[in-house]
Amino acid sequence: MELVMAIVIGVLTSCGVLLVLRAHTFAVVLGLTMLSYAVNLFIFASGGLTAGKGAVLGVTDIYADPLPQALVLTAIVIGFAMTAFLVILAIRARAELGNDHVDGHSGSRQQQESRF
C-alpha cells in the first residue's frame, strides 16, 4: 500500500509541477489542483497507513490516527476556496490582459519566441 501511495503522490506532483510550468493560466490552475491532491494524499498518509481500523474510538480495538483526517478535510476545503478564487481571477486576467499567459504577454507564444 505504501508503494502505491508513494507512486500516486509522485505522479500527481510531477504532473502538477509540469502543468504549473506551462505558464498559461488554465494549465496552471489544473497543475495547482493536481499539486493540492498530491499534498492531500500526503497529509492523509502522515498518520501512518493502516487498513481496517476505525477512526472513532470504541468501534474497533485498534484505531487509526484521526488527526490527519481532520487536517486533510481542512486542507481540501481551503484548497477548493482558493481554486475557485483563482479560476475567477484567471478569467478576469484573460479579459483584461487579452491573453491567458501568466505574465500577460501580448500575442501568442510563437510570436514571443520569434521576437527574440
Partner 1 sequence: MQHAVIFPILVPLITGALLLLPPLQASVNKRRALGGLGLLLLLLSACYGLWQSAGGVQNFYLLGNWPAPFGIVLLQDKVSAIFVLLSTVLACCCWLYSLAGEDERGAYFQPLLQFLLMGIHGAFLTADLFNLFVFFEVLLISSYGLLLHGGGKGRTKAALHYVLLNLLGSALFLLALALLYAMLGSLNMQDMALRISSLAPQQVLIVKAAAGLLLLVFGLKAALLPLHFWLPAAYANASASVAAMFAVMTKVGVYCVMRVFGSLFGDNAAELAGFGRDLLWIAGLATMLLAAVGVVAAQHLKLLVAYLVLLSAGSLLATLALGHTGAVAAVLYYSLHSTLVAAALFLLADLIAAQRGTVQDRLVAGRPLQQAWPLGVLFVIAALAVVGMPPLSGFVAKIWLMQAATDLHSRIALWSVLLFCSLLVLIALTRAGSTLFWRVKAQAVTAQRADAVQFAAVFLLLLASPLLVLFGEPVMQFCVEAATQLQFLPNVRAVGGP
Q: How far is the CB of 63 from partner 1 (least distance, A)?
A: 15
Tell me the three cell numbers of residue 51: 487498513
Q: Which is nearer to partner 1, 24 or 114 (CB)?
A: 24
Q: Which is nearer to partner 1, 8 or 86 (CB)?
A: 86
Q: How far is the CB of 115 from partner 1 (least distance, A)?
A: 19
Contacting positions for partner 1 (CB under 8 A): 20, 25, 28, 32, 35-36, 39-40, 42-43, 45-48, 67-68, 71, 74-75, 78, 81-82, 85-86, 89-90, 92-93, 96-97, 102-104
Q: Which is nearer to partner 1, 8 or 114 (CB)?
A: 8
Tell me the three cell numbers of residue 96: 483584461
What's the rounded Cα separation, in Å, for the pair 84 and 18? Answer: 21
- Taking CA atoms, 9 is separated from 3, 4, 42, 77, in Å, by 10, 9, 7, 19
What's the rounded Cα separation, in Å, for the pair 70 and 46? Answer: 12
